[in-house]
């Protein structure tokens, strides 16, 4: 196969245009391209061969999606200036582009007013959300589901804020009965609802959690780092659709443009519904703020230096692919979900596999049918390895044996967890590749079973 190269031509044109903006400056010598530079770059390319083909549909493992060519080109073009979006002095144009791009993301969730900015990723964005929650509800406990990202527990420890995990139901969603029981027993200040868990792609029942907020007055944060963009998809089931439609009512949202948003790493985003959250970020740093009376992005961020190139890339991508329903960007999300449903259907019809649950978004989890939970785990590892030898790259996940037993009731429950196979079908191209994925997966199972 050949890697996409047309964007290199467009990048050269963009750099020409960028150069015209500085044509009044005296000329300075640039670093020449030398044979040694060529050797180093060639060596770097050779080193990158030791990667999985994350850009190819046969990579159907973790949450890795190639950036759009316009994002790659815009990011590279901005690097000739290398703006820093901590302060306007370091990134005047790119800061304005960040504000515009972030406002478009906020509008996608139905927010006309907001406070927000880009971050290095979802971890930092969630840290800011829980940091603010700790100031609006000091000393109180934060809770998230056991399928929520592990960083919520870790972040709470860093912030020295109490944390508890809430059990999930058979669909991987936060168990509302257990949540309500904990609300009666524990002084909970923040509930984290996950819309798209990284394990199953499960969507927590946000409308019902909002009703509990009305009774218990906690802060409600939505971790949409992985699944947030699916608010634009028209082919969600009713419970997921209702959860996404309720996002306008939460207090804060995290989303990662470097997942479904077609951006290079790292590009996360934190949004607060009430702009008054900015009051918690107050500081005095005159050595970085001296040329403008405007509020700088660094005044509403825990991070300092941040790549302005990330904002330029996001801005360019959203200009090309607006965040609207029934648009080209939304169509890509819908194709990914159709791919997941198609793979799930094929797996549920295969006597060698057991689908753990229907995908709500684009993540599929399945087990290998066997006489026991431990044997199923062993076979799953063998299938994973055999698939990789066929250039099909999957992921692995451990699930409670109770979930396995629900779909393979005759298997012996001889271990607490079962190793299962997992695919994130993030690329729209995956829809056309489902038959090929299944064919290679079936061959991998035949090999694993024969060993």
Residue whose pair of structure tokens reads 């998809």 in the numeric block? 233
| CA–CA gap between residue 324 and residue 288 (Å, rounded) | 37
Q: What is the pLDDT of residues 107-120, one digit of tens each?
A: 999 999 999 999 99
Query: Residue 390 pLDDT more than 70?
Result: yes
Integer CA distances (angstroms), 68 to 4, 85, 316, in order: 10, 22, 10
- Residue 169 contacts by C-beta under 8 Å, 6 or more apart in sequence? 175
Q: How many CB atoms lie within 10 A of CB 82?
A: 12
Residues 144 and 152 sit within 8 Å (Cβ to Cβ): yes
Residue 31 or 103, more confident: 103
Enclosing H/E stretch for 222: strand 219-224
- Structural domains in the chain, CATH included, are 92-320 (3.40.640.10), 328-450 (3.90.1150.10)
Q: Tell me, what's the pLDDT at 303? A: 87
Integer CA distances (angstroms), 246 to 68, 206, 249, 436, in order: 29, 7, 6, 37
| pLDDT over 70 percentage in the chain | 97
Q: Tell me, what's the pLDDT at 290? A: 41
Q: Tell me, what's the pLDDT at 384? A: 98
Query: Residue 283 pLDDT more than 90?
Result: no
- Residue 279 contacts by C-beta under 8 Å, 6 or more apart in sequence? none
Cis ω for the linkage preceding 266 (within 30 of 0): yes
Residue whose pair of structure tokens reads 């820093």 in the numeric block? 84
Residue whose pair of structure tokens reads 């049918």 in the numeric block? 369
Q: Tell me, what's the pLDDT at 370? A: 97
β-strand pairing of 417-424 with 395-400: antiparallel
Phi, psi of 200 (to 5 degrees): -105, -15
Q: How confident is the model at residue 33 (pLDDT cuts 50, 70, 90)?
A: confident
Query: Residue 316 pLDDT more than 60?
Result: yes
| CA–CA gap between residue 145 and residue 160 (Å, rounded) | 19
Residue whose pair of structure tokens reads 């431990």 in the numeric block? 374
In 3D, which of 342, 256, 321, 264 has the Cα closest to residue 57? 342
Q: What is the pLDDT of residues 150-178, one digit of tens each?
A: 999 999 999 999 999 999 999 999 999 99
Q: What is the pLDDT of residues 181-196, one digit of tens each?
A: 999 999 999 999 999 9
Residue 290 or 341, more confident: 341
Helix (H, G, I), strand (E, B) or coil at 37: helix
Predicted TM-score of the model (pTM): 0.95
Query: Residue 31 pLDDT more than 90?
Result: no
DSSP string, 336-368: HHHHHHHHHHHHHT-TTEEE-S--SSSEEEEEE
Query: Residue 434 pLDDT more than 70?
Result: yes
| CA–CA gap between residue 133 and residue 147 (Å, rounded) | 21
Q: What is the pLDDT of residues 81-108, one digit of tens each?
A: 999 988 888 889 999 999 999 999 999 9
Mean pLDDT score across all residues of the chain: 94
In 3D, which of 88, 107, 104 has the Cα closest to residue 314? 104
Query: Residue 32 pLDDT more than 90?
Result: no
Query: Residue 292 pLDDT more than 50?
Result: no
Q: What is the pLDDT of residues 326-368, one digit of tens each?
A: 999 999 999 999 999 999 999 999 999 999 999 999 999 999 9
């Amino acid at each position: 196969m050949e890697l996409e190269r047309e964007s290199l031509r467009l990048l050269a044109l963009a750099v020409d245009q960028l150069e015209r903006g500085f044509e009044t400056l005296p000329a300075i010598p640039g670093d020449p391209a030398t044979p040694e530079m060529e050797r180093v770059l060639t060596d770097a390319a050779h080193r990158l061969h030791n990667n999985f083909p994350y850009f190819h549909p046969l990579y159907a493992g973790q949450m890795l999606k190639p950036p759009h060519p316009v994002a790659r080109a815009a990011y590279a073009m901005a690097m000739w200036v290398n703006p820093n979006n901590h302060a306007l002095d370091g990134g005047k144009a790119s800061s304005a582009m960040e504000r515009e791009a972030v406002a478009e993301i906020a509008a996608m969730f139905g927010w006309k007013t907001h406070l927000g900015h880009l971050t290095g990723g979802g971890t930092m964005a969630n840290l800011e959300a829980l940091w603010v929650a700790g100031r609006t509800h000091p000393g109180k406990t934060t809770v998230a589901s056991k399928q929520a990202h592990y960083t919520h527990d870790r972040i709470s420890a860093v912030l020295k804020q109490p944390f508890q995990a809430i059990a999930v139901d058979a669909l991987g969603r936060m168990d509302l009965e257990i949540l309500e029981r904990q609300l009666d027993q524990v002084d909970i200040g923040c509930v984290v609802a996950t819309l798209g868990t990284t394990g199953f792609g499960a969507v927590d029942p946000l409308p019902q959690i909002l009703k509990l907020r009305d009774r218990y007055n906690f802060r409600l944060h939505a971790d949409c780092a992985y699944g947030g963009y699916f608010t634009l998809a028209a082919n969600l089931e009713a419970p997921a659709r209702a959860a996404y439609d309720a996002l306008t009512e939460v207090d804060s949202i995290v989303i990662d443009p470097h997942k479904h948003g077609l951006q290079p790493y790292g590009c996360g985003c934190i949004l607060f519904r009430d702009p008054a959250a900015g009051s918690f970020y107050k500081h005095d740093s005159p050595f970085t703020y001296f040329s403008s009376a405007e509020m700088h992005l660094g005044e509403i961020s825990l991070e300092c230096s941040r790549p302005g190139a990330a904002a330029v890339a996001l801005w360019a991508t959203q200009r090309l692919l607006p965040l609207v329903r029934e648009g080209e960007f939304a169509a890509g999300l819908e194709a990914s979900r159709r791919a997941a449903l198609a793979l799930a259907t094929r797996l549920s019809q295969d006597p060698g596999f057991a689908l753990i649950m229907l995908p709500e978004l684009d993540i599929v989890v399945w087990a290998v049918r066997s006489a026991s939970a431990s044997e199923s785990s062993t076979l799953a590892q063998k299938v994973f390895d055999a698939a990789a030898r066929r250039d099909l790259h999957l992921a692995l996940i451990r699930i409670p044996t109770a979930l396995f037993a629900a779909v393979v009731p005759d298997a012996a429950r001889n271990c607490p967890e079962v190793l299962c196979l997992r695919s994130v079908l993030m690329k729209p191209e995956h829809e056309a590749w489902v038959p090929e994925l299944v064919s290679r997966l079936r061959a991998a199972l035949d090999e694993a079973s024969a060993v």
